[in-house]
A and B are shown apart, each in its own frame.
Chain A
């Protein structure tokens, strides 16, 4: 199979973003995403040849699947997983449809309420204040799980990865085992 490199105009930014461990989002990185859509198989092969597994999720996000997780990303993943899970639980309690998470507006008020509701759980993960909470979300923003605008965060399609896992977790018989799997699976 031959790859026409001239067509892959966004190769560099794509590789840069993806190899940094960040997620590509359909709406945030529209241009890159369109490139991926157009030349998905080319990119997949190319990256595969370089040793990366490109996952393009039709729900609007793409990432490099990797087995390696640094201590930092492991910690971030764990914390973010907790934050997102509690957020989904909280929002579900508010009667919101989970799959419309892209429409949620995560402002300081919401984060405060989240904190108040689950501070015991957060503190167990050494998330000691709403500020730390915001820091986690900032970190997650850098790897393409959220976008920050108008003094608030919005969840991006890549959050589906977490949501999928939560659903799986909900169906699983042995949640503990799966949770371990999740950790390894992410990033």
Chain B
């Protein structure tokens, strides 16, 4: 044992916990030896009063603190004393009972613990009220400390100490704020209750708290805070985007409105002036029009009169002309009719001739009517014709006919008889070659004639077998002369003519009568002609004069027509002028009415028209001449424009409130609706930039949220690192037969991955990588991102905030040789009893060690009950491990544990336990003893 080693030296109980006196060395490992239920645990628990101090943190197992107080402080001379070697020297911390209340108080002083200080000369213990005085007598400057002050003293909380206080820091913690945790772990370590992974986790988190940026992250509020702007902007963007067409319509309306306002501002004074001038204009113009119409009316009447006269004149002239023309044409006809008539006598002659013919015709008709029948006349004509043919033949054959031939050839007597035989016509036949009678052989005929003559005798003709008496027959032919013949022929002809004419007359009696009538008619016509001719002669005299008259009349007509056409034109133009004036008048009246109505309908006397100049507008550049006749149009247009402006006002207001209802609220902060509209239009025009801006904002929001999450994740990593260190610490020596004994963090996979997802998204955003990806699949709609967010929000809401402790759980990973590590949450079930005890002890010690300031090692004590369950190797290991962690180990068992340096049996006298310094058995290696 090195003297230089600071730490607990001994624990002394006086009149406490059933001990009359107990002195326990604590500067090295101790084996308390006593049968069960002899106060081993009570002895150790006494330390709680000194080390834990805070009653709330004390733990006496089945016993309540009240009972424990009674047990430990039965009267005002009950002491629990601890001697500690500190860098400032030896010190004593004590706790003394205050009497019947079983209360107690703390005191401390610098100096070594001498039990005689507490014992009076009579062997009695010093009572609490006299303690300080007694100690003072003994040269110990003891001081009473309230519990809190003592705790500050022991745990090195210098801030709560006065400067002149001695340094009694027993537990030099790295962070004095961890005192409570330290106490709690210490309590547990002293008692080694059931230790599960959740408690270990809790303690370790406390221990490493200062390494972790472990603030409670209200993820939802962080998210909402970061995304409040983004979400708002997005909602605005969405709303505007939804209503883009409406807004563009509104923009047009606004443009129209500005133009209209400019126009109205320009026209308003002109309209006012125009209305003032209107009455005068109206009166003068209507009077003027009335006068003009009157004049025109008069002109029209005059023209009408003249026109009527022209009609009359023209009718007269036309009648006269027609009469003259008729006479003239009659004259012309007569001229043509009598073209070939030289004078009147010719006509008279012609008539007389015709009268003569008629008279003759009349006579023949009368004759014919008296004559025989038609057949008798025809017979006469045939008879005369035959006579005439005979005569002609005779005349023709007067020199060469059969009669003559026969006369020549035959004797006269014979001849005379032959002529009786032959007919006249045979006899008169011509003798010639080719004629009816041919005499080709005169000789032969002579012979024949002779024969014939022979046969003829005495008026008889004797022929063989035939006798013909010729006596009764007359000679047929007597030759006449040519002259006789011709006369006869002429007579015949004349008779024939007469008879033919007669026949004709008879035959054509009707015709003749018609002919007669015709003649009668011709005669009467001729009589008319004569009369006409006389007329012609009379007309011929006035022909020239008449032609002149006709011409004059025609000229007059032309003139009249010309005048008439001019008159028509004039009338037309007057009519037109009248119509024009009338329409002007009408127009004027209608304008008058329209203006009156429009004047009534004027809207510009009320707001906003009275204050248009103050409203935004576009100056109107139209030419601004106001002619009176256009006033009505103008004022109507003006009214319409006013109306339109009003409508646009209403419409824009409607649309604006519609947009408000649809969530567009971004611009409502503007002073006026107009400014609101302009802001809205500007925003809409830059929608794509706005979208980018929102994206940027969203990204920075993610970055912001991720920063918080990154703290969480970093804390987790830090914790894991610390856990590795911690595991190294507890694994420096093999623990029992365990090959592996680790306390390992197991991440809550889903949460950690959700955090990781958000962080990696933000890293992508920050590095600018996959920027395109973002644009396509915008972050605001990222499904995985949202899922991660939802998970974290849900978890955060259920736990009232996210902390690093929610991201993992701890497991005991335990394996013996040749085993794969198994994980346990509750170490009690993980291995054998002794092993579990060791594991718990080591874990507790390691945690306590972790909290201590390694620069100021002060050895304290820890306690292991049922130490017999560990074999010696393990006991030694444990002692060494405890040593390393700055603890001396106190084994408690019914049997001595020879691995400890001290073996301290508990003796019992008169029902009181007793441990004397003299009964301490110090075990030393022989080699050490040799030294």
Q: Which positions in A face B, CB cutoff 8 Å? A: 26-27, 30-31, 33-34, 37, 40, 58-60, 100, 102-103
Q: With A27-B791, A58-B197 known to touch, is A100 a contact of B749 (CB < 8 Å)? A: yes
Q: With A33-B798, A58-B825 known to touch, is A26 a contact of B197 (CB < 8 Å)? A: no
Instruction: Point out the residues of chain A lying under 8 angstroms from B197, CB to CB.
Output: 58
Q: With A30-B795, A34-B799 known to touch, is A58 a contact of B748 (CB < 8 Å)? A: no
Are the CB atoms of B750 and A27 closer together than 8 Å?
yes
Instruction: Point out the residues of chain A lying under 8 angstroms from B749, CB to CB.
Output: 100, 102-103
Chain A: which residue is nearest B796 at the CB level?
Answer: A30
Would you list which residues of chain B between 739 and 789 have a CB under 8 Å from chain A?
746, 748-751, 753
Chain B: which residue is nearest A149 at the CB level?
Answer: B787
Chain B: which residue is nearest A40 at the CB level?
Answer: B198
What's the minimum C-beta distance from B742 to chain A, rounded to whole angstroms?
15
Are the CB atoms of A58 and B809 closer together than 8 Å?
yes
| A30 vs B794: C-alpha distance when bound (angstroms) | 7
What's the minimum C-beta distance from B94 to chain A, rounded to whole angstroms?
35
Answer yes or no: B892 CB below 8 A from chain A CBs. no
Q: With A27-B750, A102-B749, A102-B750 known to touch, is A58 a contact of B811 (CB < 8 Å)? A: yes
Query: Which 4 A-B residue pairs are closest in the complex by CB-CB distance?
Result: A30-B798, A31-B798, A58-B825, A34-B798
Instruction: Point out the residues of chain A lying under 8 angstroms from B797, CB to CB.
Output: 30-31
| A30 vs B796: C-alpha distance when bound (angstroms) | 9
Q: Which of A26, A33, A58, A100 gathers most chain B CB within 10 Å?
A: A58
What's the minimum C-beta distance from A106 to chain B, rounded to whole angstroms?
16
| A30 vs B802: C-alpha distance when bound (angstroms) | 13
Instruction: Point out the residues of chain B lying under 8 angstroms from A30, CB to CB.
Output: 794-795, 797-799
| A31 vs B750: C-alpha distance when bound (angstroms) | 16
What's the minimum C-beta distance from B630 to chain A, rounded to whole angstroms?
73
Report 29 cross-chain contacts, Cβ distance below 8 Å, ordered by A residue. A26-B748, A27-B750, A27-B751, A27-B791, A30-B794, A30-B795, A30-B797, A30-B798, A30-B799, A31-B797, A31-B798, A33-B798, A34-B798, A34-B799, A37-B198, A40-B198, A58-B197, A58-B198, A58-B746, A58-B809, A58-B825, A59-B746, A59-B809, A60-B748, A100-B749, A102-B749, A102-B750, A103-B749, A103-B753
What's the minimum C-beta distance from A45 to chain B, rounded to whole angstroms?
14
Query: What's the dominant secondary structure at chain A's contact region?
Result: helix
What's the minimum C-beta distance from B269 to chain A, rounded to whole angstroms?
71
| A37 vs B798: C-alpha distance when bound (angstroms) | 11
| A40 vs B811: C-alpha distance when bound (angstroms) | 17
Instruction: Point out the residues of chain A lying under 8 angstroms from B751, CB to CB.
Output: 27
What's the minimum C-beta distance from B830 to chain A, rounded to whole angstroms?
13
What's the minimum C-beta distance from A37 to chain B, rounded to whole angstroms?
8
Chain A: which residue is nearest B791 at the CB level?
Answer: A27
Chain A: which residue is nearest B794 at the CB level?
Answer: A30
Q: A58-B809, A58-B825, A103-B749 are in contact. List 20 more A-B contacts (CB 8 A).
A: A26-B748, A27-B750, A27-B791, A30-B794, A30-B797, A30-B798, A30-B799, A31-B798, A33-B798, A34-B799, A40-B198, A58-B197, A58-B198, A58-B746, A58-B811, A59-B746, A59-B809, A60-B748, A100-B749, A102-B750
Chain A: which residue is nearest B800 at the CB level?
Answer: A34
| A37 vs B809: C-alpha distance when bound (angstroms) | 11
Instruction: Point out the residues of chain A lying under 8 angstroms from B811, CB to CB.
Output: 58
What's the minimum C-beta distance from A97 to chain B, rounded to whole angstroms?
11
| A33 vs B794: C-alpha distance when bound (angstroms) | 12
Instruction: Point out the residues of chain B lying under 8 angstroms from A33, CB to CB.
Output: 798
| A30 vs B806: C-alpha distance when bound (angstroms) | 11
| A59 vs B751: C-alpha distance when bound (angstroms) | 13
| A103 vs B799: C-alpha distance when bound (angstroms) | 23
| A119 vs B206: C-alpha distance when bound (angstroms) | 54
What's the minimum C-beta distance from A118 to chain B, rounded to whole angstroms?
28
Chain B: which residue is nearest A26 at the CB level?
Answer: B748
Instruction: Point out the residues of chain A lying under 8 angstroms from B798, CB to CB.
Output: 30-31, 33-34
Instruction: Point out the residues of chain B lying under 8 angstroms from A102, CB to CB.
Output: 749-750
| A59 vs B825: C-alpha distance when bound (angstroms) | 10
Instruction: Point out the residues of chain B lying under 8 angstroms from A31, CB to CB.
Output: 797-798
| A152 vs B608: C-alpha distance when bound (angstroms) | 63
| A170 vs B825: C-alpha distance when bound (angstroms) | 23
What's the minimum C-beta distance from A62 to chain B, rounded to whole angstroms?
13
What's the minimum C-beta distance from B116 to chain A, rounded to whole angstroms?
47
Chain B: which residue is nearest A31 at the CB level?
Answer: B798
Instruction: Point out the residues of chain B lying under 8 angstroms from A60, CB to CB.
Output: 748
Instruction: Point out the residues of chain B lying under 8 angstroms from A27, CB to CB.
Output: 750-751, 791, 795
| A58 vs B825: C-alpha distance when bound (angstroms) | 7
What's the minimum C-beta distance from B353 to chain A, rounded to whole angstroms?
143
Instruction: Point out the residues of chain A lying under 8 angstroms from B753, CB to CB.
Output: 103
| A171 vs B405: C-alpha distance when bound (angstroms) | 196
| A40 vs B795: C-alpha distance when bound (angstroms) | 18
| A47 vs B549: C-alpha distance when bound (angstroms) | 153
Against A, the Cβ 8 Å flags (1 = close, 0 = not) of B9-51 are: 0000000000000000000000000000000000000000000
| A61 vs B403: C-alpha distance when bound (angstroms) | 191
| A40 vs B748: C-alpha distance when bound (angstroms) | 19
| A31 vs B796: C-alpha distance when bound (angstroms) | 10
What's the minimum C-beta distance from A160 to chain B, rounded to whole angstroms?
11
| A164 vs B746: C-alpha distance when bound (angstroms) | 17
Instruction: Point out the residues of chain B lying under 8 angstroms from A100, CB to CB.
Output: 749
| A39 vs B211: C-alpha distance when bound (angstroms) | 28
Instruction: Point out the residues of chain B lying under 8 angstroms from A103, CB to CB.
Output: 749, 753
What's the minimum C-beta distance from A159 to chain B, rounded to whole angstroms?
13
| A31 vs B809: C-alpha distance when bound (angstroms) | 17
| A34 vs B753: C-alpha distance when bound (angstroms) | 20
Chain B: which residue is nearest A32 at the CB level?
Answer: B798
Would you list which residues of chain B between 824 and 868 have a CB under 8 Å from chain A?
825
What's the minimum C-beta distance from B640 to chain A, rounded to whole angstroms?
60
| A158 vs B35: C-alpha distance when bound (angstroms) | 48
| A33 vs B751: C-alpha distance when bound (angstroms) | 14
| A90 vs B554: C-alpha distance when bound (angstroms) | 131
| A30 vs B795: C-alpha distance when bound (angstroms) | 6
What's the minimum C-beta distance from A165 to chain B, rounded to whole angstroms?
15
What's the minimum C-beta distance from A169 to chain B, rounded to whole angstroms?
16
Against A, the Cβ 8 Å flags (1 = close, 0 = not) of B175-201 are: 000000000000000000000011000
What's the minimum C-beta distance from A39 to chain B, rounded to whole angstroms?
12
| A51 vs B85: C-alpha distance when bound (angstroms) | 55
Would you list which residues of chain B between 708 and 731 have a CB under 8 Å from chain A?
none
Chain B: which residue is nearest A60 at the CB level?
Answer: B748
Chain A: which residue is nearest B751 at the CB level?
Answer: A27
Instruction: Point out the residues of chain B lying under 8 angstroms from A37, CB to CB.
Output: 198
| A40 vs B198: C-alpha distance when bound (angstroms) | 11
| A102 vs B811: C-alpha distance when bound (angstroms) | 19
Instruction: Point out the residues of chain B lying under 8 angstroms from A34, CB to CB.
Output: 798-799
What's the minimum C-beta distance from B800 to chain A, rounded to whole angstroms?
9
Q: Which of B748, B749, B753, B811 gathers most chain A CB within 10 Å?
A: B749
| A31 vs B753: C-alpha distance when bound (angstroms) | 20
What's the minimum C-beta distance from B188 to chain A, rounded to whole angstroms?
16
